[in-house]
Amino acid sequence: MTGARRVTESALGRLGLSGRALVVAVPLVWLLVFFLIPFLVVAKISLSEVTIARPPYLPLLEWDGLRATLNLNFENYAYLWNDPLYGNAYLFSVRVAFVSATLALLIGFPMAYYIARSPEPRRTLLLTAVILPFWTSFLLRVYAWQGFLRSNGVINNTLISLGIIDTPIVMLQTDFAVYIGIVYTYLPFMILPLYANLVKLDDSLLEASADLGGRPVATFFYVTLPLSMPGIIAGFMLVFVPAIGEFVIPELLGGPNTLMIGRVLWNEFFANRDWPVASAVAIAMLVVLVVPIMALRSAQARAEEKR
């Protein structure tokens, strides 16, 4: 039998405590250095002036040997505010993300429901089939849609050869193609949380509703839908949030006028080499989009904890 040893103020106790601190410190320091501090750097550079140099911005703090001068430059933000391009890009991104998430919900809900209600071997198989595309390269799947949507692409060729249309429909390089691309890419992210929620839905609840006189439509709106709300919210956010900042899909499928904010930032940085303005765009995006989303999420988490 273990002799009960006293571990009060002993070295062991202190060692245990510092071991605990170490376990916390490793990821904490990593995230501080590589996640939090970078935003401070972005904020700093968003306040500096662009120049042709390496790196292409002027330092905030100048030291001429006698005194330091602080060159705070809010022009980049004023520029964002005054040029309608940026505001429009923000609004357009939110709209695209919202519409895409709604479309994904409309397609994803019946699919998730059907999969969740399927008998066992089929259920796992279908679920795997939903996840499978996710494991293949996202970029290549967007590229596949290029081949589908272009004027001499699969869809137009099929329609023409069937005699349904004479001249190809322009689909690639339109907003339509962007919606398709986003819904396509993020559909699994909608289906998975919905499935996880619907599979837990107790059959006897549906039976109880039917027993109490609820027709299928009533059962759906009064029982199934309210109970699957957490899944709907989770799925919606999983599509909506990454879609806002999307760069690849508008770049490859959209036209030159499909200006989503992620693409604007990319161009500002890589094409114009204007690091300060790109930084200002990032900070604005952070404040306008990311912070509200984070707040929403933590509010949601707290609400769930209370339940």
Partner 1 sequence: MKRGIFLPLVTVLGFVFLYAPILSLIVFSFNESRLVTVWGGFSTRWYGQLFRDPQILNAAWISLRVAVVSASIAVVLGTLVAFVLMRFGRFRSRALLTGMATAPLVMPEVITGLSLLLLFVSMEQLLGWPAGRGETTIIIAHITFCLAYVAVVVQSRLAGMDQSVEEAAMDLGARPVRVFFDITLPIIAPALVAGWLLAFTLSLDDLVIASFVTGPGASTLPMVIFSKVRLGVSPDVNALATIIIGIVALGVGIAMWQMRRAIRRDRE
Partner 2 sequence: MSQPQPSLAPKPWLSSEATPFVRIQKVTKKFGDFTAVDDVSLDIYRGELFCLLGGSGCGKSTLLRMLAGFETPTEGRIIIDGQDMAGIAPYDRPTNMMFQSYALFPHMTVEANVAYGLLREGVRKAEARERVAEMLRMVQLTQFARRKPHQLSGGQRQRVALARALVKQPKLLLLDEPLGALDKKLREETQYELIRIQETLGVTFIIVTHDQEEAMTLSTRIGVMNAGEIVQVGEPPEIYEFPKSRFVADFVGSVNIFPGRVVEDEPDFIRLDSPEMGGTIHVGHGVSCTLNQQMWFAIRPEKITVTRDRPDAEHNVVQGLVEEVLYMGNLTAFRIRLDSGKTIRATRANLSRQEHEPISWDERVWLHWGDTSGVVLAQ
Q: Which stretches of the chain bind partner 2, using CB under 8 A?
A: 1-8
Shortest Å, Cβ 8 to partner 2: 4
Shortest Å, Cβ 199 to partner 1: 15
Shortest Å, Cβ 41 to partner 1: 5
| Residue 136 binding partner per list partner 1, partner 2, none, with a CB distance cut-off of 5 to 8 Å that depends on partner kind | partner 1
Shortest Å, Cβ 23 to partner 2: 18
* Positions 153 through 172 that interact with partner 1 (CB under 8 A): 153-154, 157
| Residue 79 binding partner per list partner 2, partner 1, none, with a CB distance cut-off of 5 to 8 Å that depends on partner kind | none
**DSSP code for 183:** H
CA dist 171 and 156 (Å) reads 9
Identity of the residue, 4 or 162, whose beta carbon is nearer to partner 2 in the bound complex: 4
Tokens of residue 63, six digits:
């030291």
Shortest Å, Cβ 63 to partner 1: 14
Amino acid at 165: I
Q: How many CB atoms lie within 10 A of CB 100?
A: 27
| Residue 4 binding partner per list partner 1, partner 2, none, with a CB distance cut-off of 5 to 8 Å that depends on partner kind | partner 2
Tokens of residue 6, six digits:
């006293």
| Residue 5 binding partner per list partner 2, partner 1, none, with a CB distance cut-off of 5 to 8 Å that depends on partner kind | partner 2
| Residue 29 binding partner per list partner 1, partner 2, none, with a CB distance cut-off of 5 to 8 Å that depends on partner kind | none
137 part of the interface to partner 1, by CB under 8 A: yes
Binding-site size, partner 1 (CB under 8 A): 89
Identity of the residue, 215 or 302, whose beta carbon is nearer to partner 2 in the bound complex: 302
DSSP character string of 110-143: HHHHHHHTS-HHHHHHHHHHHHHHHHS-HHHHHH
Cβ-Cβ contacts under 8 Å for 176 (sequence gap 6 or more): none
Cβ-Cβ contacts under 8 Å for 6 (sequence gap 6 or more): none
Cβ-Cβ contacts under 8 Å for 79 (sequence gap 6 or more): 277, 280
SS3 category, 212: coil
User: 57 has which bridge partners?
Assistant: 50
SS3 category, 254: coil
CA dist 237 and 259 (Å) reads 22
Identity of the residue, 4 or 70, whose beta carbon is nearer to partner 2 in the bound complex: 4
* Positions 270 through 289 that interact with partner 1 (CB under 8 A): 270, 275, 278-279, 282, 285-286, 289
| Residue 299 binding partner per list partner 1, partner 2, none, with a CB distance cut-off of 5 to 8 Å that depends on partner kind | none
Identity of the residue, 65 or 121, whose beta carbon is nearer to partner 1 in the bound complex: 121
Contact 83, 225 (CB under 8 A): no
